[in-house]
């Protein structure tokens, strides 16, 4: 992982050998789906507050996730 100089953007390089129980690879799209599910008000979760600092989560490619924060966020990792 790397942070931008302004500490607003976190780039995560995902491991390529991680798989779901059905054998499908775990990709950045899966991480974005999880983020979008967690912030959806229809999803009952105690963790929604943890994602309020996130401005966006984007899959740059299958194994690169870029998370942009509204302001520097110490709990990002």
pLDDT in tens, 42-65: 999 999 988 999 999 999 999 999
Cross-strand partners of 9: 68
- How many C-alpha atoms does 16 have within 13 Å on its Cβ side? 2
Q: How far apart are CA 17 and CA 39, in angstroms?
A: 27
In words, the CATH class of domain 2-62 is alpha beta
CB atoms within 10 A of CB 38: 15
Express each pLDDT in 1-21 by its tens digit.
999 999 999 999 999 999 999
Mean pLDDT over 35-41 rounds to: 95
Q: Could you give the CA distance from residue 23 to residue 29 in angstroms, rounded to a whole number?
A: 16
| The predicted structure's pLDDT at residue 28 | 99
Domain ranges in the chain? 2-62
């Amino acid at each position: 992982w790397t942070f931008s100089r302004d500490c607003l953007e976190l780039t995560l390089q995902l491991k390529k050998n991680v798989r779901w129980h059905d054998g499908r690879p775990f990709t950045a799209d899966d991480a974005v789906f999880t983020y979008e599910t967690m912030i959806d008000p229809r999803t009952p979760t105690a963790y929604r507050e943890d994602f309020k600092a996130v401005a966006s989560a984007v899959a740059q490619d299958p194994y690169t996730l870029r998370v942009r924060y509204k302001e520097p966020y110490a709990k990002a990792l």
